[in-house]
Amino acid sequence: CTSIVAEDKTGKLYHARNLDFGLFLGWDIKNSSWTITQLLKPLVVALAFQRNNKTIFKSTNFAGYIGMLSGVRPGAFTLTMNERFSIDGGYLGILEWILGRRDGMWMGFLTRAVLENSTSYEEAKEKLAKTRLLAPAYFILGGNKPGQGCVITRSRAATLDIWDLDIKQGTWFLVETNYDRWKPPLFLDNRRDPAKQCLNQIKQENLSLATIYDVLSTKPVLNKLTVYTTLMAVDGGHTETYLRECPEPCCPW
């Protein structure tokens, strides 16, 4: 996955992501694509969660999955989640759960609870940083005020790092793929540097959902695992989702 949270010159926040999934889950030789990646595309839906006929939050989901991977609480915050791989992974969390230790939260249920119940960027940030999890994760969060954007790097039990937007220091965007920001990405899977390079070329004054879509359309940020691209702006809970395809030549991940 590749998630981007960025702020333009006027202080407006944008949040977007490519959702990549299906690595090693079967390769379709005929169509030169990952089998599960292709099968997931018809399952993608845009959802508006309502209470008393009022939209509380919106998300992009796979039908049948009740957790949240990409969502916006209109006027309050935007949230995406990227997979974080670790030896101390979710299978240990599941084992603990089965053995009776149930103080951790399932990742999808936490993001769902945050979008459903948190009413501000700060509240969402605290819950995502402090709740014990069954699996490690990266949470990418955007707010509704200038400077409100961060990447929270989580192990199952702790927050390892919170990386904030810092306009004064020139950090007007954050890019998270599937690697800790203080470590280099796997040399075979470097989507972080191409995304950063493209954002730097665009420059802050030209930032928009359209130019972020350009970044997410550039290979290898766009790759054979990319299921969809979602573009979000917190104002009014604006969200757009597009199914993607990566024609040859294209990186398998």
Partner 1 sequence: LAGDPFREDCRNKTYPPSGPTYKGTVPTYIINLDLPPYKRWANVMNDKKTELKKVMQNIKNLVNKFFPGSKIADLVEVKMVHLLSSLPHPFREEIEGIANTSGASLGDVVLFNIFYEIFTV
Which residue in the list 1, 150, 198, 246 is annotated as catalytic? 1
Answer whether the bond into residue 220 is a cis peptide, omega within 30°.
yes
Residue 185 binds partner 1, judged by CB under 8 A: no
The DSSP-derived string for 112-179 is: HHHHHH--SHHHHHHHHHHS-BSS-EEEEEE-SSTT-EEEEEE-SSSEEEEEE-BGGGTB-EEEE-SS
In the complex, what is the shortest distance from the CB of residue 142 to partner 1, in angstroms, rounded to a whole number? 19
Least separation in angstroms between CB 164 and partner 1: 25
150 catalytic? Reply is no
User: CB-wise, 49 or 164, nearer to partner 1?
Assistant: 49
Applying CB under 8 A, which part among 2-10, 72-80, 158-166, 207-215 lies near partner 1? 207-215
Nearer to partner 1, 141 or 215 (CB): 215
**How far apart (Å, rounded) are the C-alpha atoms in residues 230 and 95?**
33
* Contact pattern from residue 92 through residue 111 relative to partner 1, giving x for each residue in contact according to CB under 8 A and a dash for the rest: -xx--xx---x---xxxx--
Residue 174 near residue 149, CB atoms below 8 Å = yes
Phi, psi of 195 (to 5 degrees): -65, -45
Which span sits near partner 1 by CB under 8 A: 1-9, 141-149, 165-173, 240-248?
240-248
Structure tokens at 62: 């796979």
Contact call for residues 246 and 218 (beta carbons, < 8 A): no
Is residue 25 part of the contact set for partner 1 (CB under 8 A)? yes
Q: Is 134 in the site for partner 1 (CB under 8 A)?
A: yes
Instruction: Provide the annotated active-site residues.
Output: 1
